[in-house]
Structure 1
Amino acid sequence: MVGEERGGASKTASFSAWCNDDTTKAYGAVVLIRLIYAGMFLVSKAAFDGGLNPAVLVFYRQAFATLILAPPAIFLEWCVKHAPPLSLLTFCKIFVLALIGITASLNLSGFGLLYTSATLAAATMNTLPVTTFFLALLFRSISMAKHRAETLRIGSKSGKAKLLGIVICTGGVAALALYEGPHFKVLCLFKHGLGQRESRQSYKTWIKGCALMLSSDFTWGYWLIFQARLQKSYPPKLLFTAIQCASGSIQSFAIAITMERDFNEWKLGWDMKLVAVVYCGVMVTGVSYYLQAWVIEKKGPVFVALSTPLAFIFTTICSAVSCDFINIGSNIKITVWTQ
């Protein structure tokens, strides 16, 4: 009996240690992040099909996230933990980072999603690992767990493999828009305006949407890398995220008011538009951004980028039951080329 009790206690202690391990937490965090992003693609697409301007959604989600994050960030980081003072230079860097990685990236992906589908938007995210790696080589500022600089040794086998992967991926994603492929639907448990979607997805708009999504992934990779560097100079993650959201709100409002001057189109009712704003503001901008900041600090930006194929899997499954079109040609092509 004593031996069994000790064995049970040992197993419990081992399981507890495994759950408290940072690596285990990091894997759990990236899975949750990709689930959140899968939901984002679906609810955003439904809102766009309902007439919501993508730029307006970006502003609303950033403003909503700022209102949610700012009070706890100020109280916990400044009042309780006594965060270090924010210098003007650091604030300017965070503002520029938000402009590139949040405002530009979200607007590009929003309009790209308007012209394509939720599954293709998730599939293009598979280019994020190679984009992040390429940018890390370019700027030599990648931060892994010990903040090592990523290098590409052309003479070594690993260096040649990395270079070949970059070339193949680049060629593959350049060709993905040339063949859209047929549409198919597996299940249809939830409808949200298929007529509008079919009229929008012409061949030209499909190519435009692909280009916008890939441009968004490029700016997102830049954001992942330089967020790791900035977090070294200003480590309070919750406050860091709140400042980015506030900066993104100001920038996004300027873009939204330029692209949509009719304030009647800004009105939200009890429909999918409101669901998209609340979900993207709370879950995506609030929860996932904070989780990403934590994972980047522990494991580096490439670790986050490598989890992007999960979003495609989750989105495809959800699309099958939400009556969203799944495009065989582009989705298979980009998924194969980017692995």
Structure 2
Amino acid sequence: MTPDRWSRFIDQGKLYLGVLFLQLGYAFNGVIVKSALNKGLNPCTFSVYRNVAAVIVFGPFAYYFERKMRPKMTLSVFLKIMLLAQLEPVLDQILYYTGMKYTTATFAIAMCNIIPALTFFMAWMFRLEKVNIRKLHSQAKIVGTLVTVGGAMVMTLVNGVPIPLPWTNKSGVHLPLAPAAAASDQDHHLKGAIMITAGCFCWASFFILQAVTLKKYPAQLSLTTLICMMGALQGTVMTLIIERAKKDIWSINWDAKLFATLYSGIIRSGASYWVSGLIMKVKGPFFVTAFNPFGMVIVVIVSSFTLGEKMNSGRIVGALVIVIGLYLIIWGKSKDSSLSDSGNDEVEMIDQERTPGKNKESNIVAGMIKEDRDVEARV
């Protein structure tokens, strides 16, 4: 393996380790926050506090390491940062975690698998993703998008037969719900699903706008800090509007709610925004979201043990459909990368073929000049 190929292999490995870090952070964050929500954590104040934690941790690093490379702030960039803060740190987090409160951590993270499809569709619209309908790999990306959305709808609307797991039913007795309670539970589940879907749309829009903003403001740490800072301010205003005069929701103690806030602020907000920005510069916004099923698998396993969440056949079938659709998209995306790499190799081969010819011509000219000088010297 040549040094250039070895360097490319290491660079690609860093990108995959980055998306692995993102999915692990998302997965454990879902389980930790769901546990805190069950203990009374308010989604609105949680959104504010986690962004404050991210600013406190990442602000000093952004100020020190990017003080010489930070570009000038313009009105256009400032408006983009304000919109970024509204999309993900405020709207997505409030909608997503409120929806999780009505459903389960497994369901919420599984619904996030529609984000790659939404991101792909919006990247196609804004010409951040190459699509040629006549090509097989482009058709696979389009079909995968439709299949992924269909699987998400199956998870939302179909319950199916409960799957008994020994660690989710310690008593071994299943008591059927009363009709009124069952109807109320179904209404809460549907309400939560709609909120999570809306949050996923905001999250996908955030990735697209982040990719556009990084072209004008490439300082990732500073951009992360500014997004979280604006998110905390906007989230405070929205919380005061939604919750009004409820003062007790702002109280926080040394418990699971504080741990969830710190973990989510440092890992889920600050570190994730920064890492996704680094990867996005190389691979684009779609690649960042393409590995969500890995997080789903982690959440299904961990939440069933720690939270005792029960599974049903509808969610399993929907999750499998989502994974199939997602990997159709990933296969199509990989073909895009292979085609671009082959194109680069062809250019390098052409340059190599042209270079020897140029060398031969230069050698011939140099020889002729030398002969003329020898003749002149003899005369």
- TM-score using structure 2 length: 0.75
Q: Which residue does 2:64 correspond to in 1?
A: 75
Alignment of 1:50-89 (within 5 A): 50-78=39-67, 81-89=68-76
Asked if 1 retains the 8 angstrom alpha-carbon contact of 2:152 and 2:319, the reply is: no
Kindly tell me: are residues 186 and 314 of structure 1, through their superposed partners in 2, closer, same or farther at Cα, counting changes over 3 Å?
Answer: farther
Matched, 1:284 2:268: yes
Taking the aligned partners of 2:217 and 2:195, their CA distance within structure 1 comes to 31
> How far off is 1:320 after superposition?
2.6
- In the alignment, which residue of structure 1 is the partner of 2:90? 103
1:160 counterpart residue number: 139
> Given residue 250 of structure 1, which amino acid in structure 2 is its aligned partner?
L
Using the alignment, how far apart are the partners of 1:152 and 1:219 within structure 2? Answer: 27
What stretches of structure 2 of length at least 5 have no aligned partner? 169-180, 325-379
- For 1:268, the equivalent position in structure 2 comes to 252
1:256 aligns with: 239
1:220-259 to structure 2, matched below 5 A, reads 220-259=203-242
Percentage of matched positions with identical amino acids = 28
Cα gap change, 1:94 to 1:32, in 2 (>3 Å): same
2: CA distance between counterparts of 1:244 and 1:304? 18
Q: Deviations over 1:285-312 (max 9, x none)?
A: 1212211111111221111111111110
Q: Is the 8 A contact 1:185 1:325 kept in 2?
A: no
> What secondary structure is seen at the aligned counterpart in 2 of 1:187?
helix
CA distance in 2, matches of 1:256, 1:312: 29
Structure-to-structure mapping, 1:1-339, within 5 angstroms: 21-78=10-67, 81-140=68-127, 142=128, 149-153=129-133, 155-181=134-160, 182=162, 184-187=164-167, 202-260=185-243, 261-338=245-322, 339=324
Q: Distance in 2 between matches of 1:115 and 1:312?
A: 18
Give the whole-Å Cα distance in 2 for the aligned partners of 1:290 and 1:20. 22
For residues 250-283 of structure 1, give each alpha carbon's deviation from its aligned partner in whole angstroms, at most 9, with x where no partner exists: 1111122222332212211121111111111111
The 1:43–1:163 alpha-carbon spacing in structure 2 relative to 1, beyond 3 Å, is same
Between 251-260 and 21-30, the greater mean CA deviation after superposition: 251-260
Q: TM-score scaled by structure 1?
A: 0.84
Tell whether the 8 Å contact from 1:62 to 1:246 is kept in structure 2 after alignment.
yes
Q: Give the direction of change, closer, same or farther, for the CA distance of 1:278–1:40 in structure 2 (3 Å limit).
A: same
Partners in 1 of 2:314 and 2:239 — Cα distance? 30
RMSD: 2.4
> Aligned partners of 1:305 and 1:52: how far apart in 2?
27
- Output the CA distance in 2 between the equivalents of 1:324 and 1:95: 39
In 2, are the aligned partners of 1:112 and 1:210 still within 8 Å (CA)? yes
SS at match of 2:113: helix
Q: Which has the larger radius of gyration?
A: 2
> Does the Cα contact within 8 Å between 1:187 and 1:321 map onto a contact in 2?
yes
Specify whether residues 159 and 327 from structure 1 end up closer, same or farther in structure 2 by C-alpha distance, changes over 3 A only.
same
- Do the aligned partners of residues 175 and 263 (structure 1) sit closer, same or farther apart at CA in structure 2, a change above 3 Å counting? same
C-alpha displacement of 1:174: 2.5
Unaligned runs of 5+ in 1: 1-9, 143-148, 189-198
Do the aligned residues in 2 keep the contact of 1:185 with 1:323 (CA within 8 Å)? no
Q: CA deviation at 1:334?
A: 2.7
**Which amino acid is 1:72 matched to?**
F
Taking structure 1 as reference, are residues 319 and 249 closer, same or farther at Cα in structure 2, changes over 3 Å only?
Answer: same
> Contact (CA 8 Å) 1:316, 1:326: kept in 2 or not?
no
